[in-house]
Structure 1
Amino acid sequence: MIALGFEGSANKIGVGIVTLDGTILSNPRHTYITPPGQGFLPRETAQHHLQHIIPLIKEALKSANVTSIDSIDCLCYTKGPGMGAPLQVSAIVVRILSLLWKKPIVAVNHCVAHIEMGRIVTGAVDPVVLYVSGGNTQVIAYSEGKYRIFGETIDIAVGNCLDRFARVLTLSNDPSPGYNIEQLAKKGGQFIDIPYAVKGMDVSFSGLLSYIEATAVEKLKNNECTPADLCYSLQETVFAMLVEITERAMAHCDKKDVLIVGGVGCNVRLQEMMKIMCSERGGRLFATDDRYCVDNGAMIAYTGLLAYAHGTVTPLEDSTFTQRFRTDEVDAVWRKKNELDTNGNPLM
């Protein structure tokens, strides 16, 4: 079975073609990059996606050596969560192609797609999942047919926090502001205290972002620190918060392994910190690089195909999009049967 998937929930538009065993036949994408110091707005992002989606479809079909549309079993797209205008592009395109090619549609939850892509690429069986991106920050574990959220941000996502601080320093958005913060942080040597906001199983980033924004202006003006010191301090603080709530979820769920997914999951320092915690608990860390951490069409195609293989189809009239689509709203039908945890016991 083969699926064609469309991802366009934020500033990346991607088209992927995947088989049911997880083989990625093609996975091209294009990123909307704004000038330094600027974020991306919904309208301009949607226009970018409209310009690139047709060339990406052609590239994906050619790279996958798909010479006949008959070989494609279903069309999958991101229903949400994400930005409204960019999400609309994929929803419209998938409807048009469904009518033209007479193929069924499968709507996919963006967050769940990250998890399933991470599981198939790394081989993680039943981990606690840390999902960290520009728009989402959640600690997740599978239980009783759904991915349950055990902790999350109560305001902005960690990726949004990093991106907004990159704007303060006018760092480049190419390839991403978070990546450029990571590179600059490697040169930092002075740790500056920043508010540490863990509230039970949840985290808060808006207050510490406001604090470091004010600190940056004052300390940089007085030559008390460097931009590298600020990036280093911000990373160490927010990543320590994420490791803490992930470890708490591991203890609660009695799981030893952790899977990091989402765009911020590419960060090597976050992976290092999480790996230390996992090894101290006798567990393992599973993580991927930017090919799979960053938003892509293959993750949508694969997750949609899993659902399609278990009888899930989205009627044309229901192939809408939503900016708010919770991870724990999805019925993970593909995980309910004949699956064992890391100890060989049936998953409940």
Structure 2
Amino acid sequence: MVIAIGFEGSANKLGIGIIRDGEVLSNCRRTYITPPGEGFLPRATAEHHRNNILEVLREALDVSGVKPKDIDVICYTKGPGMGSPLVTVAVVARTVAKLWNKPIVGVNHCIGHIEMGRLITKCHNPTVLYVSGGNTQVIAYSNQKYRIFGETIDIAVGNCLDRFARVLKLSNDPSPGYNIEQLAKKGKTYITLPYAVKGMDVSFSGLLSYIEEHAASLLSSGKCQPEDLCYSLQETVFAMLVEITEERAMAHCGSSEVLLVGGVGCNERLQEMMGIMCSERGAKLYATDERFCIDNGAMIAQAGLEMFRSGTTTSWENTTITQRYRTDDVLVTWRSP
């Protein structure tokens, strides 16, 4: 029996979770929320994490009923992510590892999402669509690496949604993407927007620039309402994501499973569109809810637990952070070739 504690803080979500052999014992989280029209800056986000991390750690231990002496390994997000928040959480994880005299494992954030998705959904060997505020990748496993088949060539889909929410001055509580999703359900008029699929990759910056430039005139002219813009944006970007998942990765790999991970993976419309595509291909869609889709500590604990079981730990001199930590840089020692 192995018990792992995971520390996550790569963006505005601070999470600490405890896993025991695939069982989630606790998964506690705090979110840094900024005023409408504003994003979250690294320094302020790091301050939020510093102010809350000890309280979240106590809560995770209390909810799980686990004592520090029972924990086998400390896991933390090594990257990718925002530098200052990553460093803040890594320092606490390093300190805890020293105080408790435990081994430590630095975890790739994306692989944390994938391993948590595999654990919760029980899927076997899926094509993975990883969609979040900082990342957009289509991934498949092969020969002890998570291979990236396609990705954004500029900004991530979550970043696109967040920045669009600022145009409409939507609330950041609980998240910009969630509030766009709720408005989009009321949308009736589709506004044609730039659609940019480039080979295996997607591009969102042109679409965002177009909608930032034209949103005010479209709304003032009465041609559409804010909910129509939300609806149009979702339909366009999600169609792009479905296309590269189906026609590129699934067709190449002969895959019969799709796993949605990352914060945007909670979106019900994206799940619906991906589910229709999978049904037409005779494939199956796997997704989780906001407890495990949105950044959380349990996913870092689960990936770190898998690494630890396979004999992988992080040497003390390497317990740093890497802001641009590629998914395909990690040797996946816990899965068969």
TM range (shorter): over 0.9
C-alpha distance in 2, partners of 1:101/1:244? Answer: 48
SS in 1 for 2:163: helix
In the alignment, which residue of structure 1 is the partner of 2:236?
Answer: 237
SS in 2 for 1:36: coil
Residue 206 of structure 1 deviates from its aligned partner by: 0.2
Letter in 1 for 2:204: F
Residue 228 of structure 1 deviates from its aligned partner by: 0.5
In the alignment, which residue of structure 2 is the partner of 1:113?
Answer: 112
Letter in 1 for 2:253: C
SS in 1 for 2:334: helix
Letter in 1 for 2:181: E
SS in 2 for 1:279: helix
Residue 217 of structure 1 deviates from its aligned partner by: 1.1
Question: Which aligned pairs between 1:320-331 and structure 2 lie closer than 5 A?
Answer: 320-331=320-331
4+ residue runs over 4 A deviation: none
Letter in 2 for 1:186: K
Residue 98 of structure 1 deviates from its aligned partner by: 1.2
C-alpha distance in 2, partners of 1:288/1:168? Answer: 29
Residue 69 of structure 1 deviates from its aligned partner by: 1.7
SS in 1 for 2:19: strand
In the alignment, which residue of structure 2 is the partner of 1:186?
Answer: 185
In the alignment, which residue of structure 1 is the partner of 2:249?
Answer: 249
Letter in 2 for 1:101: W
Letter in 1 for 2:224: C
Question: Which aligned pairs between 1:28-39 and structure 2 lie closer than 5 A?
Answer: 28-39=28-39
Letter in 2 for 1:100: L
What is the number of residues matched between the two proteins? 335
C-alpha distance in 2, partners of 1:58/1:70? Answer: 14
Residue 90 of structure 1 deviates from its aligned partner by: 1.3
C-alpha distance in 2, partners of 1:313/1:144? Answer: 21
In the alignment, which residue of structure 2 is the partner of 1:129?
Answer: 128
In the alignment, which residue of structure 2 is the partner of 1:151?
Answer: 150
- What do the CA deviations read for 1:244-277 (whole angstroms, capped 9, x no partner)? 0000210001111100000000000000000000
Question: Which aligned pairs between 1:253-332 and structure 2 lie closer than 5 A?
Answer: 253-332=253-332
Question: Which aligned pairs between 1:22-33 and structure 2 lie closer than 5 A?
Answer: 22-33=22-33
Letter in 2 for 1:179: Y
Q: TM-score, normalised by structure 2?
A: 0.99
Q: TM-score, normalised by structure 1?
A: 0.96
SS in 2 for 1:78: strand
C-alpha distance in 2, partners of 1:56/1:28? Answer: 6
% identical aligned pairs: 69
C-alpha distance in 1, partners of 2:104/2:113? Answer: 19
C-alpha distance in 2, partners of 1:315/1:258? Answer: 34
Q: CA RMSD in A?
A: 0.6
